């Protein structure tokens, strides 16, 4: 006879509210652990439950402060391994350092490779993230890895928003803010329109690798005149890509501009810049917990808890073990 693993769900400190939402959907309590931060910035993780032979899951976004949350994640895994957990899986709603996936200039590190190697070496059996910045980075992993997506959830929520506003979706144009987001927008659009037959608008931009957060749009390709534009991207950081794209869409004849991004990894002042822009609404998710100053009136946030809960429910249904002898 086969039995399910005993699933223990832990939460890091990055986004406890999201972890609680996931636990509620799964009807599974969060397991007990203590996270202590010392005055010298070091952190200590102590698992306070018996996890021997259990399947343990840690939910932790590696968002700002990125280094702190990555170290906490690694220490969590080490603590569980030392208590003889059967397997340890990490759910990383937002994967920090994912944008640093290529050497742009001589002498640069490739940070995402280093983070992946750290998680693999410390003992994770599997990792799941949401909308990794570059899907090609999935090929770096040597342990089971899944790049799940919140784009379908976001697309359905935004489509419902416009339907409630009595807006014909055929009057909406989806815009890729650069060439790198074309495939993301395509996937979003299939869910948004419910068909693969739709036109996509693409903005051509160039980023100055010698200047942080500086990107300028060159041109726009596609029919946007007289339409409502939705600029779709996986993340917004400073707004340096988004705000020029908003202005270009309006200059080319869009009647209104909205934006949608899974991750809001805001730098200081980004929320204020978006609020003061000509943007109508900014749709996003809660993969990253708000910091003071991150929220603004034009923002609408949706929870990714159902996406994570579905991944874990699939895990509970598929991963089994034989009873102890």
Instruction: Give the pLDDT confidence score for residue 212 in this predicted structure.
Output: 53
Instruction: Give the pLDDT confidence score for residue 104 in this predicted structure.
Output: 81
Cα torsion angle, 159, 165, 169, 174, sign:
negative
Yes or no: say if 56 and 79 are a contact pair by the CB < 8 Å rule: no
Of the candidates 93, 111, 90, the one whose C-alpha atom is nearest the C-alpha of residue 102 is: 111
Instruction: Give the pLDDT confidence score for residue 321 in this predicted structure.
Output: 35
Residues 291 and 173 in one domain: yes
Give the domain extent around 106: 3-149+306-321
CA distance 237 to 177: 13
Residues 72 and 135 in one domain: yes
Residues 40 and 144 in one domain: yes
Residues 99 and 53 in one domain: yes
Is the preceding omega at residue 137 within 30 degrees of 0, hence cis?
no
Tally of structural domains, the chain: 2
Residues 121 and 209 in one domain: no
Instruction: Give the pLDDT confidence score for residue 268 in this predicted structure.
Output: 92
H-helix or E-strand containing 308? helix 305-318
Residues 296 and 314 in one domain: no
Residues 166 and 259 in one domain: yes
pLDDT, tens digit only, all 325 positions of the chain: 344 457 899 999 999 999 999 999 998 999 999 999 999 999 999 999 999 999 999 999 999 999 999 999 999 999 999 999 999 999 999 999 998 888 888 898 999 999 999 999 999 999 999 999 988 888 889 999 999 999 999 999 999 999 999 999 999 999 999 888 899 999 999 999 999 999 899 998 765 555 554 566 768 999 999 999 999 999 999 998 899 999 999 999 999 999 999 999 999 999 999 999 999 999 999 999 998 889 999 999 999 999 999 999 887 666 553 333 3
CA distances from 152 to 126, 130, 186, 261 (A): 23, 11, 11, 12
Residues 136 and 155 in one domain: no
Instruction: Give the pLDDT confidence score for residue 24 in this predicted structure.
Output: 95
Instruction: Give the pLDDT confidence score for residue 315 in this predicted structure.
Output: 76
Residues 93 and 211 in one domain: no
User: What residues are annotated to the active site?
Assistant: 205
Instruction: Give the pLDDT confidence score for residue 322 in this predicted structure.
Output: 33
Residues 191 and 287 in one domain: yes
CATH, residue 231: 3.40.50.2020
Residues 68 and 169 in one domain: no
What is the β-pairing status of strands 215-221 and 200-207?
antiparallel
For 167, other C-beta atoms within 10 Å of its C-beta total: 14
Residues 223 and 136 in one domain: no
Instruction: Give the pLDDT confidence score for residue 323 in this predicted structure.
Output: 32
CA distance 279 to 127: 35
Yes or no: say if 15 and 93 are a contact pair by the CB < 8 Å rule: yes
Instruction: Give the pLDDT confidence score for residue 284 in this predicted structure.
Output: 98
């Amino acid at each position: 006879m086969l039995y399910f693993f005993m699933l223990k769900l832990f939460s890091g400190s990055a986004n406890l509210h999201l972890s609680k939402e996931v636990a509620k959907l799964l009807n599974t309590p969060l397991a007990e652990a203590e996270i202590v931060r010392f005055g010298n910035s070091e952190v200590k993780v102590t698992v306070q439950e018996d996890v021997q032979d259990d399947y343990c899951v840690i939910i932790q976004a590696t968002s700002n402060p990125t280094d702190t949350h990555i170290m906490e994640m690694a220490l969590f895994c080490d603590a569980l391994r030392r208590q003889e957990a059967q397997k340890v899986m990490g759910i990383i709603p937002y994967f920090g350092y994912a944008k640093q996936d290529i050497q742009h200039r001589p002498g640069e590190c490739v940070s995402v490779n280093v983070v992946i190697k750290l998680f693999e070496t410390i003992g994770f059996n599997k990792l799941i993230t949401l909308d990794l910045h570059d899907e090609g980075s999935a090929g770096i992993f040597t342990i089971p890895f899944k790049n799940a997506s919140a784009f379908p959830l976001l697309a359905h929520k935004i489509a419902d928003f416009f339907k409630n506003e009595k807006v014909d979706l055929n009057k909406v144009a989806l815009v890729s803010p650069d060439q790198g987001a074309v495939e993301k927008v395509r996937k979003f659009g299939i869910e948004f329109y419910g068909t693969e037959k739709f036109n996509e608008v693409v903005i051509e931009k160039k980023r100055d690798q010698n200047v942080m957060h500086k990107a300028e749009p060159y041109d726009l390709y596609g029919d946007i005149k007289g339409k409502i534009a939705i600029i779709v991207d996986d993340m917004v950081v400073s707004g340096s890509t988004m705000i020029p794209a908003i202005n270009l869409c309006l200059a080319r004849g869009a009647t209104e501009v909205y934006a949608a991004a899974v991750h809001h990894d805001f730098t200081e002042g980004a929320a204020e810049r978006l609020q003061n822009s000509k943007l109508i609404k900014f749709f996003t998710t809660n993969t990253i917990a708000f910091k003071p100053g991150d929220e603004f009136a034009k923002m609408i946030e949706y929870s990714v808890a159902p996406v994570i809960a579905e991944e874990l429910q699939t895990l509970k249904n598929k991963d089994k073990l034989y009873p102890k002898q």
